[in-house]
Structure 1
Amino acid sequence: MNTIQNIMVCVTQQKTCERLIRRGAEIRDTYNGELFVIHVAKEGDHFLGTSKDGDALDYLFEESKAYGANLTVVRAHDVLETLKKLTEKNNIDLIVLGQSFEKNEKNVSNKLEKQLPKDIEVEIVPIEKEEKVG
C-alpha cells in the first residue's frame, strides 16, 4: 500500500459489516485517509437481505458513524457498475470486501476487481469462524 487517501468498504450483510468497517477504519487511521461505507442493493431486493430493513439500516448507520465513516446506501440495477461509479466519484484508492465462497464467475470480488482500474487495491477480509455457522 502506497499513499492511501480514500477507502471504500463494501457491506452486504448486517452481521458481517462491523468487522469490515473496523478494518477500513484501521487502514484509514494508518494513512490519515477518508472512509466510505457503501451498500448497493439490487433493485427489487430488500436493502440488506431482510424484511427488517429499517433495523438493518439503523445498525449500519450507527456502525459507520461509530467509525467516522461516510455511509452511502443505494438501489441499482447493476450493482458492480454502481460500485465502480462510486469508486470513481469518491476517488477510492482501496476497497475492503468480505470473503466470498462463490467460485470464479459468481465471485463478486473477482468480478469487481476485473472492472476496476489497476491502481485501485482490493483487500479481502476473511470470514470469521462463527460466521460460517448457520
Structure 2
Amino acid sequence: MMVVFDPEVQHRIMVCVTPQKSCERLIKRGAARAREIDGQFVVIYVNKKQALNRELKEHKILLELFELAKNLGGTVSILSGEEVYDTLADFSKNNKITHIIVGKSLRSAFEIQKSGEVINPLINAVEKNGITVEVVD
C-alpha cells in the first residue's frame, strides 16, 4: 500500500508500531520530529501473514494508536508481509521515507532468537538509501 505524501515535503517520517500501549511514545516522537523539520509522518504496523487473527485487546490498542497518530496530524497504514524488516524497507523505499522511528525491542533474547530480529536488519536494509533510523528506548 502506498501512502501519498505531499510531493513538496522533503522529510517523510515512518513510525513503526506494534500493538503495545508503549508505542504511544514513538508516535509522539514522530509527530514532534515532523513538526521540527517541517515534514509529514506515517504510522506503520506490519501484520505478519501467520498473525492475522490477533486478540481483540491487540486490535483495540492498534485502533487507539492509529487514532493518536491521526489526532497528531499523521496518517496510518497496515502492511502485510512475512518478514517485517523487508516489508518496512520496501515501504520506506517506495515512499521515499527519510527517517524511521522504531522502539527498542522489549523481547527477551530467546524470543528474538526464535522469532527473528527486526531493527538491525532494517537498519542494514535502509541505510544504503540514506534513511536515518532512530531507535527509541
For the structure 1 residues 107 and 76, does the alpha-carbon distance in structure 2 shift closer, same or farther, using more than 3 Å as the test?
closer
2:45 is aligned with 1:39 = yes
* Aligned residue in 1 for 2:135: 124
Q: What is the aligned counterpart of 2:33 among 27, 50, 54?
A: 27
Matches for 1:1-134 after TM superposition, within 5 Å: 5-46=11-52, 50-101=55-106, 106-118=116-128, 119-126=130-137
TM-score by length of 1: 0.79
Aligned pairs, number: 123
How big is the alpha-carbon RMSD for the aligned residues of Structure 1 and Structure 2? 2.4
Q: Which runs of 5+ in 1 are unaligned?
A: 127-134
Q: Is 1:40–1:75's contact at 8 Å kept on the other side of the alignment?
A: yes
Where in structure 2 are there 5+ consecutive unaligned residues? 1-9
C-alpha displacement at 1:46, in angstroms? 4.4
Are 1:14 and 1:59, in contact at CA under 8 Å, matched by a contact in 2? no
Q: Distance in 1 between matches of 2:72 and 2:95?
A: 18
TM-score in terms of structure 2 length: 0.78
**Which stretch of structure 1 is more off in the superposition, 4-13 or 96-105?**
96-105
Q: Following TM superposition, where does structure 1 have runs of at least 4 consecutive aligned residues deviating by more than 6 angstroms?
A: none
How many percent of aligned residue pairs carry the same amino acid?
36
State the Cα distance separating 1:80 from its structure 2 match. Answer: 1.5
